[in-house]
Amino acid sequence: MKISVVSKKLWCVHKQLLLCLAPLVFLPLLFTLPEKEGKCLYVVILMATFWCTEALPLAVTAMLPVCLFPTLGILPAKKVCPQYFIETNFLFLSGLVMASSIEEWGLHRRIALKVLSIVGVKPAWLILGMMITSSFLSMWLSNTATTAMMLPIANAILESLFGDLETLKQKCKSPEDHDSAAINGQTSLKLHSLPSEPSEKQTLSMDGMDAAEPADMRTAEEIRSESEYQLKVWKGFLICIPYAASIGGTATLTGTAPNLILIGQLKSYFPDCDLINFGSWFAFAFPLMLLFLFLGWIWISFLYGGLNTRLCFTKHDYRAQAEARAKALIKEDYRKLGPMNFAEGAISFFFILFAVLLFTRDPKFVTGWSVFFKKGYVSDAVTGVIIVSILFFFPSQKPSLSWWFDPQAVNTPYVPLLSWKKAQDSVPWNIILLLGGGFAMAKACEESGLASWIGGHLQPLAEVPPAVAVMLITAFLACFTEFASNTATIIIFLPVIAELAIRVSVNPLYFMIPATVGCSYAFMLPVSTPPNSIAFASGHLMVKDMVKTGFIMNILGILSVSLAMNTWGVAMFNLSSYPEWAHSSNTTAVIPNVHFSSMKTTNATL
């Protein structure tokens, strides 16, 4: 049998082979390391392998601690199982339920069209509008849902600006026309996969076809040159949406799973640390998001032809006519939404109340409303669950007192703002299991002594200045998460990073926060994140487009995080000193023969 045939057959069963061979390959760890640390490291590496290769579904791998930790004698089941639905998971669940109610009544679509009508229709301004809208929505919705909702709107606007994409590619005489056409034939379904946005692109496109096309008096060379420019702008539109969604998710604790992993592991490793909550995280991460979003907009607009003199001066030419059509299209579609109904108004009110209460519970820089309750009893999870519980009984139609006294009134069934069936269908339960698996792994690393053992072997890194270490940590995790789930990445590395901070006597938040944010900066490959995959599935982007754009985006992200940590981050979280809440963990984790001669130098550098 030929080698090529054998290799193809092996590839067909590579996941099954990996499931069988990986436990055998890592078996020496059980015999070469201290007993409990070796067993824990065996499970951690096994889970990391399954997560990175997806030999098992991510959620199934996340449940392995339930069977492996008790059977190997690492952690009893009564300590493992509660980790799968701790307080942090309830905060995440409340954010997902709120997001499903916003999608149910189409409030996100109204927000998107309103922002686009405000920023204008010149390519650079439209890219900015797309990025602002996507980032804002992804602060509350999932990054994937935001991308899937925004792409049909972007495609409809682009078609009104530049016409049909296939015609545009023919005018450019691009060599990949046929390949792109083959891909486009199967992507429209993906772009309309969200239940709340099934016909948006079709509606917008039909409206755009009503306008008569003006006679084109340009030469063939002018048409070709203009078409190449338009194709570049089209790519810029499509690539900015998933990038902005990933950036926006970092601004709130509920915006992306790694942020919640940070909170859960902080409570596990440093129970006395109460510096990070919804309000304090937002105060730190929102300015960082704005900075990175602005830098990203400059780069994408520069790379894809949006930055030019047309931003400042009005010209009456062929482009101006296309921009006028796009502007009319956006306004018409917004007009069709009609005035905001009672349900949209109610969802807006509860959404704002949800954000305000979470932000003001205990923002640290001012006294929050939590002082009216017993200290330590009311958390962000309590706040979130209270608000979203109201959605299940608050009416979606305006109550009328006259209805009770009018025998002729129609007896319509009572419809709340959100039904449990809708919430149940919208919540990604696999992510909740993934969070639980991460918390269980962190608990085992702590109690088995694995984190301390690893930290003892990271002592040489104490010689690296902390400011440089922040950049290295962010860069490493941003690169690693290009090939693995961002949630799995932070689950694997955050305990190690926390132990490293203890070993070098640096405030643990100084290393853990940039690591968490860096895990969301996956821009270079289509497989890096679901938003990247959705944009790539449109068939209009190539891998080289994402690599070229994403490489600089990663650098900009690393620099932005480093700037944030060493400026307002230091002031907000008092990162320049080693905190009292880390001392208790330090004293239990220290190995006697490890020396900390460089601690004073390290703190001086900070």
Which pLDDT belongs to residue 390? 93
Q: What is the 3-state secondary structure (H, E, C) of 375-423?
A: CCCCCHHHHHHHHHHHHCCCECCCCCCHHHHCCCCCCCCCCECCCHHHH
Q: What is the 3-state secondary structure (H, E, C) of 531-592?
A: HHHHHHHCCCCCHHHHHHHHHHHHHHHHHHHHHHHHCHHHHHHCCCCCCHHHHHHHHHHCCC
In this predicted structure, the answer to whether residue 110 has a pLDDT above a threshold of 90 is no
Task: Report yes or no: 520 and 250 within 8 Å, Cβ to Cβ.
Answer: yes
Give the C-alpha separation, 162 to 228, whole Å. 11
Any idea which of 147-151, 493-497, 543-547, 591-595 has the lowest mean pLDDT?
591-595
Residue 199 is encoded by which pair of tokens?
Answer: 């016909």
Instruction: Quickly state the pLDDT bin for 542 (edges 50, 70, 90).
Output: confident
Give the C-alpha separation, 150 to 130, whole Å. 8
Which pLDDT belongs to residue 389? 93
Which pLDDT belongs to residue 600? 35
Give the C-alpha separation, 8 to 404, whole Å. 71
Which pLDDT belongs to residue 568? 92
For Cα atoms 577, 579, 582, give the angle at the middle one, nearest 5 degrees. 135
In this predicted structure, the answer to whether residue 193 has a pLDDT above a threshold of 60 is no
Residue identified by tokens 């040489």 is 460
In this predicted structure, the answer to whether residue 562 has a pLDDT above a threshold of 90 is yes
| Cα 12 versus chain centre, distance | 32
Identify the CA nearest to 294 among candidates 140, 127, 146.
Answer: 127
pLDDT digits (tens, 9 = 90+) for 2-35: 787 778 888 788 888 888 898 999 998 888 888 8
* Most confident stretch, 62-71, 122-131, 216-225: 62-71
pLDDT digits (tens, 9 = 90+) for 441-457: 878 887 888 877 876 77
122 compared with 55, residue with greater pLDDT: 55
Task: Report yes or no: 58 and 428 within 8 Å, Cβ to Cβ.
Answer: no
Element (H, E) at 228: helix 220-248
Residue 355: helix, strand or coil by DSSP?
helix
Task: Report yes or no: 521 and 246 within 8 Å, Cβ to Cβ.
Answer: yes
Give the C-alpha separation, 150 to 138, whole Å. 11
Cα maximum dimension of the chain = 86
Element (H, E) at 106: none
Residue 245 is encoded by which pair of tokens?
Answer: 């969604």
In this predicted structure, the answer to whether residue 317 has a pLDDT above a threshold of 80 is no
395, β-bridge pairs:
416
In this predicted structure, the answer to whether residue 572 has a pLDDT above a threshold of 70 is yes
CB atoms within 10 A of CB 599: 15
Any idea which of 144-148, 315-319, 483-487, 543-547 has the lowest mean pLDDT?
315-319
- Tell me the backbone φ, ψ of residue 395, rounded to 5 degrees: -70, 145
Residues 6 or more apart in contact with residue 211 via CB below 8 angstroms: 325, 328
Identify the CA nearest to 81 among candidates 98, 97, 94, 64.
Answer: 64
Which pLDDT belongs to residue 427? 79
Give CA separation, 449 vs 40, 135, 442, 455, 594, in Å.
9, 40, 11, 10, 15
Share of the chain above pLDDT 90, in %: 16
| Cα 145 versus chain centre, distance | 10
Task: Report yes or no: 430 and 84 within 8 Å, Cβ to Cβ.
Answer: no
Task: Report yes or no: 267 and 198 within 8 Å, Cβ to Cβ.
Answer: no
Give CA separation, 595 vs 461, 504, 578, in Å.
13, 10, 17
- The mean predicted confidence, pLDDT, of the chain is 78
For Cα atoms 271, 288, 97, give the angle at the middle one, nearest 5 degrees. 65
Mean pLDDT of 42-54: 85
CB atoms within 10 A of CB 563: 14
349 compared with 222, residue with greater pLDDT: 349
**Amino acid present at 21:** L
* Residue 449 DSSP one-character state: T
Element (H, E) at 517: helix 508-518
Give the C-alpha separation, 106 to 102, whole Å. 6
Share of the chain above pLDDT 70, in %: 80
pLDDT digits (tens, 9 = 90+) for 167-187: 666 666 544 444 444 444 444
CB pairs under 8 A, 24+ apart, for 70-76? Answer: 72/39, 72/42, 72/43, 73/36, 73/39, 74/36, 74/39, 74/40, 74/43, 74/444, 74/447, 74/448, 75/440, 75/443, 75/444, 75/447, 75/448
Residue 348: helix, strand or coil by DSSP?
helix
For Cα atoms 320, 324, 327, give the angle at the middle one, nearest 5 degrees. 135
Residue 271: helix, strand or coil by DSSP?
coil
Task: Report yes or no: 223 and 217 within 8 Å, Cβ to Cβ.
Answer: no
Torsion angle, CA of 388/390/396/402, rounded to 10 degrees? -170
Residue identified by tokens 């650079």 is 124
* Residue 134 DSSP one-character state: H
Instruction: Quickly state the pLDDT bin for 593 (edges 50, 70, 90).
Output: very low
Identify the CA nearest to 498 among candidates 558, 561, 465, 450.
Answer: 450
pLDDT digits (tens, 9 = 90+) for 482-523: 877 788 788 888 888 888 888 888 899 999 999 999 988 989
Task: Report yes or no: 549 and 174 within 8 Å, Cβ to Cβ.
Answer: no
Q: How many residues does the chain have?
A: 606
Give the C-alpha separation, 193 to 191, whole Å. 6
Give the C-alpha separation, 369 to 357, whole Å. 8
Task: Report yes or no: 183 and 526 within 8 Å, Cβ to Cβ.
Answer: no
Give CA separation, 61 vs 19, 28, 164, 598, in Å.
11, 21, 44, 39
pTM of the model: 0.71
